Chain A
Amino acid sequence: MEHIRTPKVEQVKLLDRFSNKTITGTLHLTATHLIFVESNSTNAQEIWILHHHIASVEKLPLTTTGCPLVIQCRNFRLVHFVVPRERDCHDVYSSLLRLLRPVSYDELYAFSYNPKQNDQQREEGWQLIDLGAEFERMGVPCDQWQLTNVNREYKVCDTYPRDLYVPITASTPIIVGSSKFRSKGRFPVLTYFYQEKKSAMCRCSQPLSGFSARCLEDEHMLQAISKTNHNCRFIYVVDTRPKLNALANRAAGKGYENEDNYSNIRFQFVGIENIHIMRSSLHKLLEVMGTRSLSATEYVIGLESSGWLRHVKAVVDAAIFLMKAMTVEGASVLVHCSDGWDRTAQVCSLGALLMDPYYRTMKGFMVLIEKDWISFGHKFADRCDQLDGDSKEVSPVFTQFLECVWQLSEQFPQAFEFSEWFLIQIHEHVHSCQFGNFLGNCQRQREDLHLKEKTHSLWAHLLAEQQNYLNPLYDPTLAETQPVLEPSTQPFHFKFWRNMYHQFDRSMHPRQSILKHVLTLTENNREMENTIRSLESKLQQYGVSVSPLKVRVAPRERTRPQRPRSLILGAPLSRKEAQQQLDEEAVVEAEEAQEEEGEEDGLARSCGERTVEGSSATENGYGDLEEAFSSKPEPAVVSLEFGVARMTC
């Protein structure tokens, strides 16, 4: 709190990014959040911004109306405030600068966040995902693969997890020898086992081959991996980097495998660019998309010149290569990039997602992230800029992975148990530092931070509200009939992910949500079935036989789906709103008598509103009628709530 000089500033204007609309309100600065509350309105809009979400704060030159303050967030929110007095603006600005750059882990929100759980609940949350059980599910250990304890004390590789799976024939000296020949000691280990063909997906970092160095143990290691699979004589070694980058690495004593030295490998580059190129690519994309009154031409040119979709497609293409090699050819695959924690994590996890329907369920997807990203040491702290660190280490590698999953879910709308809001929510919390899961760079560091004792697990939180993230179109039977996804690599299947990058720009969103509507219908169907079942059982209790009696339900009046209270249609409630709801529930629990009243309230809300979400002519700027309209007041029927234009009848 000592960093907060001015906790409250009044008469602050919030400018809309894409229209000329402004809202006046009060700015509050707390230890964890920056809060803007609209004033003079019955349904005041509130914006809560977690300090960790703020990527940058910028103070623009003073104008006649005040001092502009532009805040850019990691969840792609961009707010533009105008603070009337320069001094207040400066106070807020300097406080934020200090608050958004925590210098030590214990300053992070996760260590103070308290969702009113007891220690046992917290522990259960952390036990939800068990990677040992996950490998068992894949059929490992087996006659060819075993659990090794060489890394029990993080002695061989400190960025790997403790438990690693290697071929039976790989002895400890081979492992240790191989690890010394690999960048950061990240030797080849199993990450996914395709039981049907006994083909294995292994991952590692680049070899320290330079121009001519060899390592017999490493060659043995690859041989051992190859021998585990009787289906195929060779293994694919997939270097996810562009060839030029790999060649350049040779000069630094690193590089790639020489096919002459390793027997029975097929070497392949797939050409995914490095973290720096990805960072600037997304930056360019967002810059274009943030332009006001962007033309359709500028939009498509921007998509192209940023290269973002090309990069996304490259990652998906690599995953498809893995999937085809393992399922069609039955060959085992070894994947690496430079250090084996960025592109390797992307390609391995995405490849497994294509092959295994389990990873397309909500729980399975958590397991996948836990395995290929968290435990194998994707450097979340550095890539997501959790502490004030090196800006060159920051890169949207994980965001890009989530986007790849979204692109696949667009091609296979029935194959995923979760909707895009699940992905967006995960993205939100990777940056929120509210839960312990993504803190730090590797497992060892997480243990040192005692995260499991001091913080909560995101997975438990997401599972608790999983109904918000369900995909109503999910068809579980597809897992049987079409377990392996074979996506098209035609470029027109890759689209701009508006709901991610414009999450908070409501004028961009579809005005009615199919997802939300179908979810409501499905939910209603389920409720009705339950009612029927309970009525039937009651009848049975009274000794009335049910079977000849056809239960007839009067055709229900078509109910309008309840308006989502979140800013984005169909989006799950934000943390703050969820908190509100929690509080409401607590009150209801305490006073059961009020329960009915609460329900009525909800009913009134859902019936009383006939809205076409966010549909308003003012926002769209069709014309240059500004001058013509300025004299006329807004029609009285349009009121604003949560930034969503609402017409009440």
Chain B
Amino acid sequence: MRACLKSMEFSEHIKTANVEDVVLKAPFHAPMKGTLCVTGHHLLFSDRSGDSSWQLLLLLRNIDAIEKSVENLLGYSSQSLNTGSNFRAVGSSGTITIKCKDLCILQLDIPGMEECLNIASSIEALSSLDSVTEMYPFFYRPSCLSLDDSWGLSTLEKHYDQLGALQAKWRLSNINSDFSICPSYPPTVIVPQSVDDQMLVKAARFRQGGRFPVLSYYHQKNGMVIVRSSQPLTGANRKRCKEDELLLQTVIDSSERGYIIDTRSAQQAHQARMTGGGFESKSCYNSWKRLHRHMERGKVLQESLIKLVEACGDQSHNMDRWLSKLENSKWLTHIHSALSTAGLVAECVERDGHSVLVHGSEGTDTTLLVCTLAQLILDPETRTLKGFLSLLEREWVQAGHPFQLRCARSAYSHARLKQEAPIFLLLLDCVWQLGRQFPLALELGEPLLLRLAQEAYASDFGTFLCNNEQERCALGAKDRTHCLFQFLLKSSEREQYINPLYEPTDFAIWPSVQPQSLHLWEGLFLRWADHSQTMEEVRDQIWSIVTEHCGGS
């Protein structure tokens, strides 16, 4: 009933559902002529002219921007971006350029100006629907998956049970079970054993968005931990919170001190006091040494991505132009600061043997990025396919990275930026850099990172929907959608995401952060440029060498 109602809503947006004789130009294919069809969630193109029919099924959600141009027989041409134009002429035609969030660009030549404009307006309306429950994951019902399958790989309770060593000093707290203490935290969090729930409530009030310090990682080798939170709300008059101070003191426990890695510059942290935020002052947290590592976030990152993608699409074949655009995008600088801050955190824990608290301002972006990368550096468990996906689930999905806000638009969109930021993409790029420097150490291969980069922006699955667990619960996302991580681990899928050269190592993998060691992630940013196929051939060849080796003869 409800679904029926919805599909009616979709049909309002579809004025022309089918167009014949459309020419599609897609990367790696010669232009094809076929039928174009718009449905509530997809754009379907099928080419039935050849013997082997070819189909393209594009999730409308994947469309970041469209550009249309129409011309009539008189040769009059009008180009307009995202605006409805009302030219009508018989025997005219139009072209729609579709720019996808996975950075692919498609072009459709549509006979008939009206059809073209209708298709374009349908795409515009349907690709930017805001209501989460109208999105495709709520309608995706493949025969191989059942809604009864478990959603998610693990829970914090299970994670806690697996880490026996930490249980002496850390406990589970269900204080957030109704999301009232911190809307962006999961219902259960891991906190110091000796801190009671009453203290947590007070500490939460002292942190932005209620994100009080919780355990992110426990280093089994020396019992040191990485804890994360949001900024303290000290404000201009330097408020204090006894419970917060005590909570952090308990984290340090007997060891003489800990480090606070603030992902803002010292100046930014000081300025934050004007708007009610702040930082842990030396006098109140005297066992903690605070280090500021400036990392870009938000709009700056989004613009960086836009510039980089623009540079990669440049067709001038000019070296100086390319390098100056690459430099101007500053993307490699962001990679550099993410990896070196994570390296610093890992260094504090492993080499210096002290616990670390990581936070920026909200604690939902750079904080998660740094904590995740530090765990990959330190913990061999997280470098397996399952371990990595569990890490993402724990540190991004459950920890409340606002995927819906951050990944609403990608690099091509002309829409005004709101809260978009490619922080998750930055994480995937950093993981790729780790994989390049340690090609044997990660079980997950580049195809997984590419898949995740795509799924975060447009997906059949519910994993990256919503901004936090509270929203997911409210919409019943876990009951009404399928879980991507579970799907990727199915034996039918798993194989293609594995790194053929994987050999587990128990050691920390310290990445080099010299700019000479950092690379542009061609697999993602130049995915649709020429010559990208040879890399796939190479991967196949490595696979065959490895399987030959393992197979014996």
A220-228, A299-307, A573-581 - interface stretch: A299-307
**Which residues in window 306-327 of B have CB below 8 A to A?**
312, 317-324, 326-327
Instruction: State whether A411 and B534 are in contact (beta carbons under 8 Å apart), knowing that A18-B514, A300-B323 are contacts in the complex.
Output: yes
**Which residues in window 438-483 of B have CB below 8 A to A?**
438-441
B512 touches A296 (CB 8 A): no
Nearest-CB residue, chain A, relative to B553? A553
B323 touches A620 (CB 8 A): no
Chain A CB within 8 A of B351 CB: yes
Chain A CB within 8 A of B518 CB: yes
A297 touches B330 (CB 8 A): yes
Chain A positions within 8 Å of B552 at CB level: 528, 552-556
A610 touches B332 (CB 8 A): no
Instruction: State whether A617 and B510 are in contact (beta carbons under 8 Å apart), knowing that A491-B323, A629-B351 are contacts in the complex.
Output: yes
Q: How many A-B residue pairs have CB under 8 A?
A: 209
Chain A CB within 8 A of B266 CB: no
Instruction: State whether A310 and B518 are in contact (beta carbons under 8 Å apart), knowing that A524-B549, A629-B352 are contacts in the complex.
Output: no
B289 touches A522 (CB 8 A): no
Chain A positions within 8 Å of B436 at CB level: 510
Interface of A is mostly: loop
A622 touches B343 (CB 8 A): yes
Chain A CB within 8 A of B85 CB: no
Q: Which of B293, B350, B438, B546 contacts A617 (CB 8 A)?
A: B350
How far in angstroms is the closest Cβ of chain A from B532? 10
Chain A CB within 8 A of B155 CB: no
Q: Give the number of residues in B that approach A within 8 Å (Cβ atoms).
A: 73
How far in angstroms is the closest Cβ of chain A from B476? 43
Query: Chain A 590-630 against B: per-residue CB contact (8 Å), 1 yes, 0 no?
Result: 00000000000000000000111001111111111100110
Instruction: State whether A635 and B351 are in contact (beta carbons under 8 Å apart), knowing that A304-B327, A490-B530, A556-B552 are contacts in the complex.
Output: yes
B289 touches A508 (CB 8 A): no
Q: Which of B293, B510, B515, B537 contacts A294 (CB 8 A)?
A: B515
How far in angstroms is the closest Cβ of chain B from A608? 15
How far in angstroms is the closest Cβ of chain A from B358? 13
A612 touches B538 (CB 8 A): no
A95-103, A349-357, A428-436, A513-521 - interface stretch: A513-521
Q: Which of A490, A495, A521, A620 contacts B512 (CB 8 A)?
A: A620
Query: Chain B 174-198 against A: per-residue CB contact (8 Å), 1 yes, 0 no?
Result: 0000000000000000000000000
Chain B CB within 8 A of A142 CB: no
Instruction: State whether A304 and B506 are in contact (beta carbons under 8 Å apart), knowing that A472-B545, A517-B439, A623-B344 are contacts in the complex.
Output: no
**Which residues in window 42-85 of A have CB below 8 A to B?**
none
Q: Which of A518, A616, A632 contacts B542 (CB 8 A)?
A: A518
Chain A CB within 8 A of B488 CB: no
Nearest-CB residue, chain B, relative to A634? B351
A512 touches B512 (CB 8 A): no
Nearest-CB residue, chain A, relative to B343? A622
Q: CA A303 – CA B535 in complex, angstroms?
A: 25
Query: Chain A 272-309 against B: per-residue CB contact (8 Å), 1 yes, 0 no?
Result: 00000000000000000100001111111101100101
Chain B CB within 8 A of A498 CB: yes
A617 touches B327 (CB 8 A): no
Instruction: State whether A491 and B318 are in contact (beta carbons under 8 Å apart), knowing that A304-B324, A517-B501, A532-B553 are contacts in the complex.
Output: yes
B322 touches A492 (CB 8 A): yes
Q: CA A307 – CA B319 in complex, angstroms?
A: 9
Question: In the complex, which range does the number of interface residues on chain A fall in?
Answer: 35 or more
Q: Which of B347, B515, B526 contacts A296 (CB 8 A)?
A: B515
A620 touches B510 (CB 8 A): yes
Query: Chain B 525-553 against A: per-residue CB contact (8 Å), 1 yes, 0 no?
Result: 01001110011011001100110111111
Chain B CB within 8 A of A248 CB: no
B439 touches A622 (CB 8 A): no
Chain B positions within 8 Å of A560 at CB level: 503
B439 touches A296 (CB 8 A): no
Nearest-CB residue, chain B, relative to A613? B438
Chain A CB within 8 A of B507 CB: yes
**Which residues in window 33-74 of B have CB below 8 A to A?**
none
Q: CA A491 – CA B326 in complex, angstroms?
A: 11
Chain B CB within 8 A of A493 CB: yes
A473 touches B541 (CB 8 A): yes
Q: CA A414 – CA B537 in complex, angstroms?
A: 9
A296 touches B534 (CB 8 A): no
Chain A CB within 8 A of B400 CB: no
How far in angstroms is the closest Cβ of chain B from A522? 6
B351 touches A296 (CB 8 A): no
Chain B CB within 8 A of A507 CB: yes
Chain B positions within 8 Å of A299 at CB level: 332, 515-516
Q: Which of B343, B522, B542 contacts A620 (CB 8 A)?
A: B343
Q: CA A289 – CA B332 in complex, angstroms?
A: 16
B518 touches A296 (CB 8 A): yes
Query: Chain A 550-564 against B: per-residue CB contact (8 Å), 1 yes, 0 no?
Result: 011111101010000
B530 touches A628 (CB 8 A): no
Q: CA A553 – CA B321 in complex, angstroms?
A: 56
Chain B positions within 8 Å of A502 at CB level: 516
Chain B CB within 8 A of A496 CB: yes
**Which residues in window 403-450 of A have CB below 8 A to B?**
411-414
Chain A CB within 8 A of B234 CB: no
Q: CA A511 – CA B434 in complex, angstroms?
A: 10
Nearest-CB residue, chain B, relative to A522? B545
Chain A CB within 8 A of B363 CB: no
Chain A CB within 8 A of B263 CB: no
Q: CA A622 – CA B512 in complex, angstroms?
A: 9
Chain A CB within 8 A of B340 CB: yes
Chain B CB within 8 A of A529 CB: yes
B319 touches A411 (CB 8 A): no
B323 touches A615 (CB 8 A): no
Chain A positions within 8 Å of B351 at CB level: 617-618, 629, 632, 635
Nearest-CB residue, chain B, relative to A638? B351
Chain B CB within 8 A of A647 CB: yes
Nearest-CB residue, chain A, relative to B326? A300
Nearest-CB residue, chain B, relative to A612? B507
Chain B CB within 8 A of A181 CB: no
Chain A CB within 8 A of B333 CB: yes
How far in angstroms is the closest Cβ of chain A from B520? 7
How far in angstroms is the closest Cβ of chain A from B367? 17
Q: CA A610 – CA B537 in complex, angstroms?
A: 30
Chain B CB within 8 A of A584 CB: no
How far in angstroms is the closest Cβ of chain A from B288? 12
Chain B CB within 8 A of A313 CB: yes
Chain A CB within 8 A of B13 CB: no
How far in angstroms is the closest Cβ of chain A from B89? 39
B352 touches A412 (CB 8 A): no
Instruction: State whether A296 and B332 are in contact (beta carbons under 8 Å apart), knowing that A508-B514, A532-B553 are contacts in the complex.
Output: yes
A622 touches B344 (CB 8 A): yes
Q: CA A649 – CA B318 in complex, angstroms?
A: 50
B319 touches A617 (CB 8 A): no
A508 touches B512 (CB 8 A): yes
A294 touches B538 (CB 8 A): no
Chain A CB within 8 A of B505 CB: yes
Q: CA A510 – CA B434 in complex, angstroms?
A: 9
Q: Which of B352, B438, B516 contacts A498 (CB 8 A)?
A: B516
Query: Chain B 255-295 against A: per-residue CB contact (8 Å), 1 yes, 0 no?
Result: 00000000000000000000000000000000001010100
10 smallest CB-CB distances across A and B, nearest first, come from A299-B515, A622-B343, A491-B322, A553-B552, A304-B323, A623-B344, A300-B327, A622-B344, A310-B319, A296-B332
Known: A475-B541, A623-B293. 10 other contacts (CB 8 A): A301-B323, A508-B512, A524-B549, A551-B553, A558-B550, A612-B509, A620-B513, A623-B344, A623-B348, A649-B506
Query: Which residues from chain B sit less than 8 Å from chain A, CB to CB?
Result: 289, 291, 293, 312, 317-324, 326-327, 330, 332-333, 335-336, 340-341, 343-344, 346-348, 350-353, 436-441, 501, 503, 505-520, 522, 526, 529-531, 534-535, 537-538, 541-542, 545-546, 548-553
Query: Which residues from chain A sit less than 8 Å from chain B, CB to CB?
Result: 18, 289, 294-301, 303-304, 307, 309-310, 313, 411-414, 472-473, 475, 488-496, 498, 502, 507-514, 517-518, 521-522, 524-525, 528-529, 532, 551-556, 558, 560, 610-612, 615-625, 628-629, 632, 635, 647, 649
